[in-house]
Structure 1
Amino acid sequence: SFGGKEFLYGLPELNKTAISSARYIANPGCFATCIQLALLPLANAQMLNSDVHVNAVTGSTGAGIMPSATTHFSWRNNNASWYKAFTHQHLGEINESLESLQETVGELYFIPNRGNFSRGILSTAYTKFEGSESEAYGLYHEFYKNAAFTMISEEPVHLKQVVNTNNCHIHLHKYKDVLLITSVIDNLLKGASGQAIQNMNLMLGFNESEGLNLKASVY
């Protein structure tokens, strides 16, 4: 709650039904959206029992509008660096969502990186997984079967596939006993304003994808 108003966490893939009848929505953060979408199906299946390691890179537009030493183009161009290792502010909302599905989850170790591009987030998360790659795909397809913008790909995903769209693309890869989950979003759309419009559509009874059938520039 804030200012005497009760806010609902506005991640449609997690709270779609509740969003439709909510009065106030808290729009998720960009890293939080990308990472949660990668991990929610495992938590829902009570299979997020080991530590999770996440490495994610965001474009310069993820730094907000206030100028700083690390946001100027001349510094970002041809450059890369990490920041807020293990302590990023989005960890709180990520863990809260995961724990709403699985009471106890493994520790989340998150390294955010600044990328040499303007928009988009690519996240790679890996954790121990006892099942097969095929079983993992089954979990993800089932969890997102009614999701308007989250798509599961059996081919490797690329950032350009989602930039300028409200989509999230997810790819799975099993190596020995480890499952690698790659997720990509546009930080300004699915990670910000696009998701806000998606929430508004649900709240007002519009088609969930109204105004959001955007096409990536790569196609």
Structure 2
Amino acid sequence: MGTIRIGIAGGAGYTGGELLRILIHHPLAEIVFVHSNSNAGKPLSDVHADLFGDTDLKFTDSISQEIDVLFLCVGHGDAKKFLDNHEINAGIRIIDLSQDFRLSKNAVHGDRTFVYGLPELNRKAIKEAQNIANPGCFATCIQVGLLPLAASGNLNAEVHINATTGSTGAGQSLSPTSHFSWRNNNLSVYKAFEHQHLNEIGQSLKQLQSDFDQALNFIPQRGDFTRGILAAMYTESDLSLDEVYVLYESYFRDHPFTHVSTRNIDLKQVVNTNKALIHLEKHDSKLFIISIIDNLLKGASGHAVQNMNLMFGIDEMTGLKLKAAAF
């Protein structure tokens, strides 16, 4: 595989910044342009200060058709607008990091059809796709914890989910709940039972277990840390713990970023990596599942590069062998 020529729209935000950090060091990537109307003409390092010394690229308000793939790192609802307002050659592949095309009912836009880009669910389809809808961060973390049960027809009771995300999950634009003085030493619940990622989670579970009709009781929380998601879930199950571990290890055997641990897990094991880790416990009839990811990497930009690697037929770990923060 030769060089992959890349365009990025919305390169000034958190997901755009993470994508740049990965792709600048990706051995097969060439960044052709980074689009941002508000920052056009400025060096990337004016916005992403950590990139100073790594690149001389500047933001632009124009796009080039001389690319192989376009990443859309724009806000929810803005991906459709971007495609409506910019002519993108049919041969250019698109990876969208917004929620605009994740649901099957919204997957067609003009002549483009978007494949839901969760490799642990749709690896074969991703390899053949021209357009990818990158999964949401909460959705990725929760789905990797539940997919093996659905794939084996063993998700037969309602699921209770409590998941906490870091402040970067709210995006880079300031809001009352992202200011340091509010977020620091604080914890809050938001969108209880109504989070937008529930729809894509339910869609994936039904893809594997068509008769799944149980409630997903999801309580999202804003955490007092910058990055990472920890999801703690439980459901009724007749399976023994040994049977569950065999099920999960078998399901994820060919997925190099997703690992099942017999020891308890913590966020520092995945922060700054594209890993997803899962830990399982049995408490009487309840199966308890913990899953963790970095919301900006496996939950967004790292996941998008993993999908790009699969689409272009290269090792999906290329450019993504990242070191965990650890301490």
- Runs (4 or more) in structure 1 with deviation over 4 Å come to none
Match for 1:103 among 210, 228, 239? Answer: 210
Measure, in 2, the Cα distance between the counterparts of 1:62 and 1:104. 32
- The aligned residue for residue 153 of structure 2 is 46
Pair 1:14 & 2:92 matched = no
- The aligned residue for residue 87 of structure 1 is 194
Match for 1:144 among 243, 252, 255? Answer: 252
- The aligned residue for residue 304 of structure 2 is 196
Aligned to 1:206, the other structure's residue is in SS state coil
Deviation of 1:2 (Å): 2.1
Deviation of 1:116 (Å): 0.3
- The aligned residue for residue 317 of structure 2 is 209
Aligned to 1:20, the other structure's residue is in SS state helix
Of structures 1 and 2, the one scoring higher in RCO (CA 8 A, sep 6+) is 1
Pair 1:157 & 2:233 matched = no
Deviation of 1:126 (Å): 0.3
Measure, in 2, the Cα distance between the counterparts of 1:104 and 1:59. 34
- The aligned residue for residue 128 of structure 1 is 236
Match for 1:74 among 152, 164, 181? Answer: 181
Deviation of 1:5 (Å): 1.1
- The aligned residue for residue 293 of structure 2 is 185
Measure, in 1, the Cα distance between the counterparts of 2:157 and 2:325. 38
Match for 1:30 among 137, 140, 148? Answer: 137
Measure, in 2, the Cα distance between the counterparts of 1:31 and 1:216. 20
Which structure 2 residue ranges, 5 or more long, are not aligned? 1-107
Q: CA RMSD in A?
A: 0.8
Measure, in 2, the Cα distance between the counterparts of 1:3 and 1:60. 35
Measure, in 2, the Cα distance between the counterparts of 1:66 and 1:120. 18
Superposition TM-score, scaled by structure 1 size:
0.98
Aligned to 1:164, the other structure's residue is in SS state coil
Superposition TM-score, scaled by structure 2 size:
0.66
Measure, in 2, the Cα distance between the counterparts of 1:183 and 1:150. 10
* Corresponding residue pairs, total: 219
Pair 1:2 & 2:109 matched = yes
Pair 1:167 & 2:275 matched = yes
Match for 2:220 among 90, 108, 112? Answer: 112
Amino acid at match of 2:201: I
Measure, in 2, the Cα distance between the counterparts of 1:133 and 1:3. 47
Per-residue CA deviations over 1:84-111 (Å, capped at 9, x if unaligned) read: 0000000000000000000122210000
